[in-house]
């Protein structure tokens, strides 16, 4: 099991996550866009909990806030919460097979989306039912590929 | 032994300080940030600085579109280009004829204004920007354009395309700006009906092909097909730009107001080139340009839209 952190791989994944968050997805399907930064935060906290913690996740969330022009701090808090939850369960998470990890991805990113949605509602956003959970679902579906891909990059560069 | 053992176990299972404490810290800091940003609007400079640092990300994000444009420009036949050229010439001719008439009308209008002792300028100064990105949040209608503070843009400016009003600048970093579209559910434009000058407020509905005209009384003279132009009231949008066309009017018996749907004139989800309007040079706008640190002090209301 990989326990090292490859800084080039980390930088690449963060940049790719930021770019993917604003681009490369059909406009009509924005609702279903995976939560790329959430996946990046999940992966690195899971793989390198000694190096990648809540504060770094918070900083990445802040960047996402600016990209999404959400109120500063909303996504930052959500990313911090994801990192915290991963930190508390990463020992068990390592034992799980990929499908079960996907389920956890869905749960954690769902929680973070719910938090984001909740704060936006407090600030007067419109209510769109439960459709804000779609990104959590697509992220969970994409997790196995994402994880394997990043593991490979990590091995090559790390 | 328990103390020692506890310490050992701690170093194995918990990395660094207790994560719970950090979580508490970031939750408090985030909450403070959210309140400062969303309620008191204190962080526009921080946001603008981060946005400037993120410009490479916007740039890379726009590369696929540019590649697509480049690739589709690569395989165009000479006949097609000639055809397009002729079409453009024909269009230019039509517009030139219109401009001839416009010159006469403008001088007549200026004369009339002079007679009425009014000093309003007829034409606005504009700058052309290109759309380089759209908001990743599916619930907000925003664009990112490639003109920013270095081009003199500031929050509150109106943004047009060739067909009508698109929205307004809500935030500008050094070389990009964010434009809130008229279709965003938090946006409102004061408009008037061209035919008879009836004033109303046009709200975005979160649907880019549908806007809502609110608080129009049951007996008001408004018909399907009426053109709505910006009324200039509220001081944010310049007067007289087409905004939308009334598409459907539903009268509910017993309701004090009619429900009116309108279709935006601007191609909100298609236009790639936009015009950013500079307000006429008044002492007030001079002051706001001289102090870019306080962009929210621009003429007009502090909220996006006038609603």
Give A-chain residues touching B51 at CB under 8 angstroms.
66
| Domain coordinates in residue numbering, chain A | 7-157
Give A-chain residues touching B142 at CB under 8 angstroms.
69
What confidence score (pLDDT) does residue B263 get?
Answer: 93
pLDDT tens track for B127-146? 888 888 887 777 788 888 88
* Contact check, Cβ <8 Å, A72/B134: no
Mean pLDDT confidence for B5-34: 69
What confidence score (pLDDT) does residue B233 get?
Answer: 86
pLDDT class of A26 with cuts at 50, 70, 90: low
Q: Does residue B133 or residue A37 have the better pLDDT?
A: A37
* Contact check, Cβ <8 Å, A30/B136: yes
What confidence score (pLDDT) does residue B245 get?
Answer: 92
pLDDT tens track for B154-175? 888 999 888 889 999 988 888 8
Mean pLDDT confidence for A32-37: 86
Looking from the CA of B96 toward its CB, the CA atoms found within 13 Å total 6
A119 touches chain B (CB under 8 A): yes
pLDDT tens track for B224-256? 999 999 988 888 888 888 899 999 998 888 888
Residue B300 has pLDDT above 50, yes or no: no
What confidence score (pLDDT) does residue B17 get?
Answer: 54
* Contact check, Cβ <8 Å, B139/A54: no
What confidence score (pLDDT) does residue B283 get?
Answer: 46
pLDDT tens track for A50-102? 878 888 899 999 998 888 878 888 899 999 999 999 988 888 888 888 889 99
> A76 to each of B32, B38, B49, B171, B177, how far by Cα in Å?
12, 14, 17, 20, 22
Give helix A7-22 / helix A134-157 axis angle, nearest 10°: 150
CA–CA separation, B187 and B183 (whole Å)? 7
Torsion of CA B180, A114, A102, A154, to 10 degrees: 50
The beta-carbon neighbor of B26 closest among A49, A58, A69 is A58
What confidence score (pLDDT) does residue B108 get?
Answer: 81
**Residue in chain B nearest A123 by alpha carbon:** B38
What confidence score (pLDDT) does residue A1 get?
Answer: 45
What confidence score (pLDDT) does residue B305 get?
Answer: 40
Give B-chain residues touching A31 at CB under 8 angstroms.
138
Mean pLDDT confidence for B62-83: 81
**Closest CA–CA distance from residue A39 to any residue of chain B (Å):** 16
* Contact check, Cβ <8 Å, B57/A15: yes
User: Hunting for tokens 């006429």 — which residue is that?
Assistant: B280
pLDDT tens track for A111-157? 999 998 888 888 876 676 787 888 889 999 999 999 888 888 888 87
pLDDT tens track for B174-232? 888 889 999 988 899 999 998 888 999 999 988 888 999 988 888 888 889 999 999 88
Chain B residues 93-152 with a CB less than 8 Å from chain A: 133-140, 142
What confidence score (pLDDT) does residue B252 get?
Answer: 83
Residue A25 has pLDDT above 80, yes or no: no
What confidence score (pLDDT) does residue B159 get?
Answer: 92
Mean pLDDT confidence for B12-41: 77
Chain A residues 22-41 with a CB less than 8 Å from chain B: 22-24, 27, 30-31, 33
Q: What average pLDDT is seen over chain B? A: 79
Torsion of CA B291, B292, B298, B302, to 10 degrees: -120
* Contact check, Cβ <8 Å, B13/A21: no
CA–CA separation, A105 and A43 (whole Å)? 10
Chain B residues 186-245 with a CB less than 8 Å from chain A: 186, 206
What confidence score (pLDDT) does residue B287 get?
Answer: 42
CA–CA separation, B31 and B213 (whole Å)? 36
Token representation of residue A42:
């999940």
Q: Could you write out the DSSP letters of every residue in B202-267?
A: EEEEEETTEEEEEEEETT----TT-EEEE--TTSSSPTT-EEEEEEEEEPPTT-SEEEEEEEESS-
Report the share of chain B in percent with pLDDT over 90: 13
Residue A5 has pLDDT above 70, yes or no: no
* Contact check, Cβ <8 Å, B61/A123: no
Report the share of chain B in percent with pLDDT over 70: 83
CA–CA separation, B262 and B155 (whole Å)? 26
pLDDT class of A49 with cuts at 50, 70, 90: confident
Q: Could you write out the DSSP letters of every residue in B130-192?
A: EEEEE-S-TTS-EEEES--GGGT--TT-EEE-SSSEEEEEEEE-SS-EEEEETTSTT-EEEEE
What confidence score (pLDDT) does residue B304 get?
Answer: 43
């Amino acid at each position: 099991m990989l326990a090292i952190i490859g800084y080039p791989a980390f930088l690449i994944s963060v940049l790719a996550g930021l770019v993917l968050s604003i681009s490369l997805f059909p406009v009509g399907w924005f609702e279903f866009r995976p939560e790329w930064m959430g996946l990046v935060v999940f992966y690195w906290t899971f793989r390198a909990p000694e190096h990648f913690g809540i504060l770094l996740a918070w900083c990445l969330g802040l960047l996402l806030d600016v990209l999404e022009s959400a109120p500063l701090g909303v996504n930052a808090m959500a990313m911090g919460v994801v990192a915290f939850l991963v930190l508390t369960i990463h020992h068990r998470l390592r034992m799980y097979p990929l499908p079960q990890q996907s389920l956890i991805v869905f749960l954690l990113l769902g929680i973070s989306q719910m938090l984001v949605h909740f704060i936006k509602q407090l600030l007067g956003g419109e209510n769109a039912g439960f459709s804000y959970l779609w990104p959590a679902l697509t992220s969970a579906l994409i997790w196995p590929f994402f994880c394997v891909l990043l593991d490979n990059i990590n091995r090559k560069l790390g | 032994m328990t103390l020692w053992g506890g310490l050992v176990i701690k170093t194995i299972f918990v990395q660094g300080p207790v994560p719970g404490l950090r979580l508490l810290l970031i939750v408090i800091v985030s909450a403070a940030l959210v309140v400062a940003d969303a309620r008191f609007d204190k962080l526009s400079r921080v946001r603008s600085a981060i946005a400037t640092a993120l410009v490479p990300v916007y740039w890379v994000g726009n590369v696929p579109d540019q590649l697509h444009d480049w690739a589709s420009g690569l395989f165009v036949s000479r006949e097609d280009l000639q055809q397009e050229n002729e079409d453009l010439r024909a269009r230019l001719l039509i517009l030139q004829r219109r401009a001839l008439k416009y010159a006469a009308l403008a001088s007549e209008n200026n004369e009339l204004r002079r007679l009425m002792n009014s000093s309003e300028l007829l034409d606005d100064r504009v700058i052309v920007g290109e759309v380089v990105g759209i908001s990743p949040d599916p619930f907000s209608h925003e664009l990112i354009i490639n003109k920013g503070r270095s081009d003199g843009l500031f929050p509150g400016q109106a943004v047009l395309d060739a067909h009508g009003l698109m929205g307004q600048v809500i935030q500008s970093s050094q070389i990009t700006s964010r434009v809130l579209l008229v279709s965003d559910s938090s946006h409102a434009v004061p408009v008037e009906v061209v035919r008879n000058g009836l004033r109303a407020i046009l709200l975005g509905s979160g649907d880019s092909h549908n806007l809502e005209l609110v608080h129009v009384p049951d007996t008001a003279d408004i018909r399907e097909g009426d053109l709505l132009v910006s009324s200039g009231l509220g001081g944010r949008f310049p007067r007289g730009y087409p905004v939308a066309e009334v598409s459907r009017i539903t009268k509910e018996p017993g309701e004090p107001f009619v429900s009116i749907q309108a279709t935006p004139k601007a191609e909100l989800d298609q236009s790639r080139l936009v015009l950013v309007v500079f307000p006429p040079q008044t002492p007030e706008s001079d002051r706001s340009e001289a102090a870019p640190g306080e962009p929210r002090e621009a003429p007009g209301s502090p909220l996006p839209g006038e609603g």
